[in-house]
Every structure is written in structure tokens, then in C-alpha cells.
Chain A
């Protein structure tokens, strides 16, 4: 089945620094990927839709200059949290769907970001 690999699985960074999270579709091409964040005991909140070769579409209230998304190839999307602050600490998850498949969206294993 479709596999989405997300790296790193966890990261700790200092306030003011930037962190990049990678999301790769390992055995299929994904023209569209999605990025979510999840706080403890809450549901996933969609942050943005990443489109290969074009600009990402951000959900209302998500700062595009803070959460930079790049989808340069059909198998890789990256999310960069710029000038991170403690309130950016969260669980970030990406997803992608294999075109033509009937198995819904495949999610990465998530990245736990802690900003200290």
C-alpha cells in the first residue's frame, strides 16, 4: 500500500530558529499533500494544502510567512517553521493520496516539535 514518510519524527529547537519537516510519498506520486498540526487531546487541524509546482493554499488564520511550504517534486513536500516560538510546539502531520486508489489518504507518522 501507499506509504508516506515524514522526517524527523521529533525535533527540539531554540526559540528564533527555523525547523524543516519533510514529507515524502515513497511509492507513489502525489501532486497534492496536506499539512496538519495537532495539539494534545485535540483533533487534527488543517494548516495548508501543498501543490506540486505551485504555491500552497493556507487555511484561514495560518501565517504563510511563518509556515513555509515547498512542494518541488511529486514525491516531496517540506514545511519550514520559521522563527519558531514555544507556542509553535505541536505535532505536525502530513498526508497525501495515491491517485486512482481507493484507500483514502495516507498519513505520515508525524513530527513532534518542541521549541525551547
Chain B
């Protein structure tokens, strides 16, 4: 299983764009990159998943360079409610494979 490394914490202000980078140097060919958000006392919530280049949905964008050894989650115009822990995971996208969580990034959005 590919190990991931993220910044422990980040601070931002409302309305700013936040970029959280994750390193996964030993990612395998079959691995996908998935990001989750977790609020206190709740289960993680899926944000976005990608394999290469750029993926965008209604809440975030995911940028993955050609070597796939890192990825960047981009949250546009954050609000106070985006204060949470964000986890980057590398998972084989064939189901049934366990998901190991790294330490995550604690994002604190200030007014």
C-alpha cells in the first residue's frame, strides 16, 4: 500500500482558495488517488477521486502530475464550514482492497 504524506495543518481565510498537497512516491500503476473530508464525530466523506491529470467536481479539483507521485486537492473559495480534516488515500480501484489512512491535514478556516 502506498504511503501518503500531507501537511499536518493549514490555516486559511474565508473566500480564499486552498491547495493541499499529498505525496505518494510509491504509488502503483493500478492505484487511484482519493480525498476525503472528516468533521468531528462523523465518518469521512468522499470528496474526489482521480487517476491522472485533472479532475473537477462541484466541490473541488484534483491535480495529478504525470509521474503521479503527488496530488493536490484544490478547494475554491473556502468557507468556515470547510474547517475539517482532509485525508489523501491511495487505493487500488478494484474493490475489496483495504484503505489505510495517513495523518490527514487539519484545515482551519478563519473569518
Contacts and interface: CB of A to CB of B under 8 A. Distances in A.
A107 interface: yes
Interface in B18-57: 34, 36, 41-46, 49
B80 interface: no
A67 B49 CA distance: 31
A112 B40 CA distance: 11
Contacts of A49: 98
Contacts of A60: none
Contacts of B103: 43
A112 B43 CA distance: 11
Contact of A32 (B44, B46, B49, B95): B95
Instruction: Classify chain A's interface size.
Output: 20 to 34
Given A32-B96, A103-B49, A109 B43 contact: yes
Given A103-B46, A104-B46, A43 B99 contact: no
Contact of B43 (A46, A93, A99): A93
Nearest to A112: B41
B43 A105 contact: no
Interface string A19-36: 000000000000110101
A100 to B, nearest CB: 8
Given A43-B103, A43-B104, A44-B101, 17 more contacts: A4-B43, A44-B44, A46-B100, A49-B98, A91-B41, A93-B43, A93-B44, A102-B49, A104-B34, A104-B91, A106-B46, A107-B45, A108-B43, A109-B42, A110-B41, A110-B42, A110-B43
